Amino acid sequence: MARKAGRRVYLDHNATAPLRPQARQAALSCLEGPGNASSVHAEGRAARAILERARTHVAHLAGAESRCVVFTSGATEALALGLHPSPEMDGQFAQCDILLASAVEHPAVLRGHRFAEMETLAVDSRGRLDLDALESALKRHAAAGRRAMVAVMAANNETGVLQPVAEAARLSRAHDALVLCDAVQAAGRMKLDMSVLDVDFLSLSAHKIGGLQGAGALVLARAGHRPLAMLAGGGQERGRRAGTENVPACAAFGAAAATALADLETEALRLSALRDRLEREIVDSLPGVRVMGAGAERLPNTTLLTFEDVRAETLVIALDLAGISISSGSACSSGKVGASHVLAAMQVPAEWAGGAIRLSLGWSSCEDDVDLAVEAFRKVVPRVRGRSIRAA
Ligand code: PLP
């Protein structure tokens, strides 16, 4: 393969995006000072100023007010904080009896967290939440005097398929349900506005947008919304999340959010052109390849391809050796090989689902990456095809 020595192609932004230079710079400058953002002295005030600037940038990314951003250690923690059956909403506890979650949510939602009861909702063959299924579940629970919290992600991490969040929120409101939107993959890749979406809680993760790992946020629709804190301790984050804030990681999160937001429209166009070419050239040059979620509105950077007669994990390893980094299925806790619950929910037959790999582009992706990736797929797929299936 015509690959320059050492040149790797990173097509796994949905797992973790490379650190943006602006985020790196923001984190590095925090390491110069010792300040704790809760201290009253000059160093503390400097850390506080950095933290609040980051909060404003993160709020803008979600179309929310800065005081509605609660910094956490990542989206998993943000989701655990938001998925509580009795959050305080403007001074009143909103008691929810059940969590209704689309079947394609991330495992961090499907764990249900502090909910004792959860029901999953069907999606269609393209992986979009079935709004009729949501409405009938809402009606059934409302008729039994039960209130729901509905979890619907903005965009799926495996397929990139956009979910009908605003429509789901409208149905939920009509049945007095609360709504949580996991916007981890959509953030920085499409416009988000909490008030337009009309959701109560929204989760974000810094490392998916080019910040550092270990930072995220739960964004609240209004400052009067108070999820029940999971950690007892100091009064950080307005008493909603105890523990000294990770100022360098939050600063990097803020810088990544500001950069992603400033470049949102141009990057969406650039990435969708790269992604479409990548997809087209692979599909056109190899037999037995399908695009999952094709025909649905998708994120501009993501494609989930399935290869007939190929085992995804064999392909991932062979491509890794050829210098191309991709993942099979969701691969959030990489290395784990298991059937994708997203493809199962889309009723993709097992023989197709077993050969599914995800390519996700981002700020560091360029035309050369597409050329090199296509070239590698053309070489590697015929080599691994059938072999791994027969071996299994
Ligand atoms: N939600 C979605 C859609 C994700 O893709 C991920 C991570 O892949 C998470 C939540 C968890 O994010 P974090 O790694 O910040 O805990």
pLDDT cut 90: percent of the chain above it:
91
Give tens-digit pLDDT for 143-177.
999 999 999 999 999 999 999 999 999 999 999 99
With cut-offs at 50, 70 and 90, classify the pLDDT of residue 33.
confident
Report the C-alpha gap between 338 and 17 in whole angstroms.
Answer: 23
Does residue 108 line the site of ligand 1, with CB under 6 A?
yes
pLDDT for res 383? 95
Provide mean pLDDT across the span 196-211. 98
Neighbour tally for 4: CB within 10 Å = 9
157 C-beta closer than 6 A to ligand 1: yes
What local confidence, expressed as pLDDT, does residue 389 receive?
57
Q: Residue 170's closest CA among 140, 218, 138, 215?
A: 138
Q: Which of 30, 181, 332, 366 is catalytic?
A: 332
Per-residue DSSP letters for 189-250? TS---HHHHT-SEEEEEGGGTTS-TT-EEEEESSTTEEPPPSS-SS-TGGGTS-S---HHHH
Please indicate whether residue 94, judged by its CB atom, sits closer than 6 Å to ligand 1: no
Number of neighbouring beta carbons within 10 Å of residue 167? 14
Q: What are 210-260's pLDDT values in tens digits?
A: 999 999 999 999 999 989 999 889 999 999 999 999 999 999 999 999 999
Distance 379 CA to ligand 1 centre (A): 32
When pLDDT is cut at 50, 70 and 90, the band that residue 350 belongs to is confident
The whole-number average pLDDT for the span 307-333 is 88
Residue 3 has pLDDT above 90, yes or no: no
SS3 128: coil
Mean pLDDT of the 352-375 span: 97
Q: What is the mean pLDDT of the chain?
A: 94
Q: What is the pLDDT of residue 269?
A: 98
In the prediction, which pLDDT does 300 show? Answer: 98
Per residue in 51-66, pLDDT (tens digit) is 999 999 999 999 999 9
User: Which tens digits make up the pLDDT trace of 261-276?
Assistant: 999 999 999 999 999 9
Tell me the two tokens of residue 106. Answer: 């991330």
Index of the ligand 1 atom closest to the CA of residue 155: 3
Q: For residue 156, report the distance from its CA to the centre of ligand 1, in Å.
A: 10
User: Judging by DSSP bridges, how do beta strands 324-325 and 327-328 pair with one another?
Assistant: unpaired
For ligand 1, the distance from its centroid to the CA atom of residue 382, given in whole angstroms, is 33
Read off the pLDDT of each residue in 106-117 and give the average, rounded to a whole number: 95
pLDDT at 289: 97
> Hey, what domains does the chain have and what are their CATH numbers?
9-19+264-391 (3.90.1150.10), 21-262 (3.40.640.10)
Whether residue 331 has pLDDT greater than 50:
no
Does ligand 1 lie within 6 Å of residue 37's CB atom? no
Q: Say what the pLDDT of residue 391 is.
A: 53
> Can you tell me the distance from the alpha carbon of 206 to that of 297, in angstroms, rounded to the nearest whole number?
24
Q: Whose CA is nearest to atom 7 of ligand 1?
A: 332
Residue 5 pLDDT: 58
Q: Hey, whose CA ends up nearest to atom 5 of ligand 1?
A: 157
Convert the pLDDT of each residue in 62-109 to its tens digit.
999 999 999 999 999 999 999 999 999 999 999 999 999 999 999 999
Give the model's pLDDT for residue 334. 46
- What stretches of 236-372 adopt beta strand conformation (E)? 289-291, 302-307, 324-325, 327-328, 356-360
- Rounded distance between C-alpha atoms, residue 86 and residue 78, angstroms: 16
Contact, 212 vs 255, CB < 8 A? no
Distance from Cα 184 to the centre of ligand 1, integer Å: 6
Q: What is the pLDDT of residue 1?
A: 38
Per the annotation, the verdict on 332 as an active-site residue is yes
Cα of 380 from ligand 1 centre, angstroms? 30
**Does residue 161 have its Cβ closer than 6 Å to ligand 1?**
no
Q: Does residue 259 line the site of ligand 1, with CB under 6 A?
A: no
What was the pLDDT predicted at 339?
Answer: 79
- Residue 110 DSSP SS3: helix
> Comparing 153-162, 164-173, 197-206, 381-390, which segment has the lowest mean pLDDT?
381-390
